[in-house]
């Protein structure tokens, strides 16, 4: 936060002086809020304006990411078809689903596909997880060889299966071991390595700031913080204010994550945390354009063209076709159902049509029924 004082003894109108203060702040950067303090001393009024100065790009080593609005890694969601769709609207970075390091190196069926880069290598990071330094390093080498610009280490996943395997957010309980994994990955690759974690294990162990400092010293070049503890899972609200202390403890870029769903929440998260950018997860479900919309609202990027009517149906059908091509018809149809459900939620699709689409096994019939979504919208 920067504080500016403007004194205008010759201007009688408070409204005019307020406008001058706003104009000054607009010259400096995007405004989260302006606090004006009026002290009537003769005809002199004192203004204190607080502005959040935002940059439209982030440097992570030699990699420049713009705008600083990123797609979070989401298991079973941020696969290649969805990342490509989000990228088509505009995103500074898209991150793959979390990939288990040992299973990736050993080429377990279905694992390497999670790290598939497709045609949007330029803004893709692959996230790896694990508990063994050897497998983490070997997985990072594969990620680099496949062309990713960044490799991200997961130390924030709260899922019991991951935590019970002593990976993800379980590592917040043993920072010494966490650092051995970080050091192994950093030493294994030439591309920048980043880290995603949470505030801590629980309210009694809020150690993300310590992890951040040690991770930076070990070579981590960007830190993403989900504003909850592991024991909160996704309950309650993300604590963006708590991210501020972590931001102050490091010099590398910090990204705020958690409950960021639109421009307004992104601005609040940035103002509260002092972070350099935001990462959007569940807020993008059914709304692949939302990152571009946030970038427009917060960083003055060009607004996305949000598809309406038949254009929306074409987008949904295109995403469905891409999933069938990526996974094959049978698996693709099953995996696509969650996305189709979110799209239909956004369109307020009637329950009977929604049910018919989500239970249909014939992919040609699914596409035919999806076209009826537009018929309903026109009729409505």
Catalytic (active site) residue 22 = no
Answer yes or no: are the C-beta atoms of 257 and 247 closer than 8 Å.
no
Q: How many CA atoms lie within 13 A of 176 on its CB side?
A: 0
Answer yes or no: are the C-beta atoms of 38 and 5 closer than 8 Å.
no
CA 156 to each of CA 50, 191, 211, 253, 344: distance values in angstroms, whole numbers, following the listed order: 33, 21, 12, 18, 30
Rounded to an integer, what distance in angstroms lies between the CA atom of residue 241 and that of residue 251?
Answer: 18
Handedness of CA 332, 127, 185, 198 (dihedral sign): negative
Pairing type for strands 46-51 and 93-100 reads unpaired
Rounded to an integer, what distance in angstroms lies between the CA atom of residue 292 and that of residue 294?
Answer: 5
Rounded to an integer, what distance in angstroms lies between the CA atom of residue 292 and that of residue 308?
Answer: 16
CA 158 to each of CA 128, 163, 232: distance values in angstroms, whole numbers, following the listed order: 15, 6, 9
- DSSP one-letter string for 18-31: HHHHHHHHHHHS--
Q: Which of 8, 22, 40, 157 is catalytic?
A: 157
Active site residues: 157
């Amino acid at each position: 936060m920067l504080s500016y004082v403007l004194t205008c003894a010759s201007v009688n109108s408070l409204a005019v002086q307020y406008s001058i203060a706003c104009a000054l702040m607009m010259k400096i950067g995007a405004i989260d809020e302006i606090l004006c303090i009026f002290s009537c001393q003769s005809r002199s009024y004192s203004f204190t304006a607080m502005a959040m100065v935002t940059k439209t790009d982030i440097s992570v080593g030699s990699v420049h990411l713009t705008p600083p609005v990123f797609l979070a890694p989401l298991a079973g969601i941020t696969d290649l078809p969805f990342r490509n769709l989000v990228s088509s609207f505009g995103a500074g970075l898209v991150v793959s689903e979390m990939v288990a390091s040992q299973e990736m190196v050993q080429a377990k069926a279905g694992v390497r596909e999670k790290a598939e880069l497709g045609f949007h290598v330029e803004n893709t990071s692959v996230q790896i997880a694990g508990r063994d330094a050897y497998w983490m390093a070997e997985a990072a080498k594969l990620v680099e060889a496949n062309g990713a610009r960044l490799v991200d280490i997961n130390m924030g996943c709260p899922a019991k299966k991951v935590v019970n395997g002593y990976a993800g957010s379980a590592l917040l309980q043993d920072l010494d071991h966490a650092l051995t994994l970080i050091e192994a990955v950093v030493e294994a690759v030439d591309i920048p390595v980043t880290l995603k974690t949470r505030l801590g294990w629980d309210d009694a162990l809020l150690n993300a700031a310590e992890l951040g400092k040690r991770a930076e010293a070990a070579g981590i070049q960007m830190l993403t913080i989900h504003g909850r503890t592991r024991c909160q899972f996704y309950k309650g609200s993300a604590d963006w204010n708590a991210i501020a202390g972590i931001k102050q403890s490091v010099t590398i870029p910090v990204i705020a994550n958690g409950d960021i769903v639109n421009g307004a929440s992104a601005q609040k998260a940035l103002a509260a945390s002092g972070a350099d950018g935001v990462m959007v997860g569940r807020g993008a479900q059914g709304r692949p354009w939302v990152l571009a919309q946030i970038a427009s609202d917060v960083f003055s990027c060009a607004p996305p063209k949000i598809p309406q009517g038949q254009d929306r149906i074409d987008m949904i059908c295109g995403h469905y076709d891409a999933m069938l091509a990526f996974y094959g018809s049978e698996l693709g149809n099953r995996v696509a159902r969650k996305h189709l459900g979110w799209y239909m939620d956004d369109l307020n699709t009637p329950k009977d049509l929604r049910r018919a689409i989500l239970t249909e096994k014939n992919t040609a019939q699914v596409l035919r029924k999806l076209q009826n979504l537009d018929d309903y919208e026109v009729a409505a």
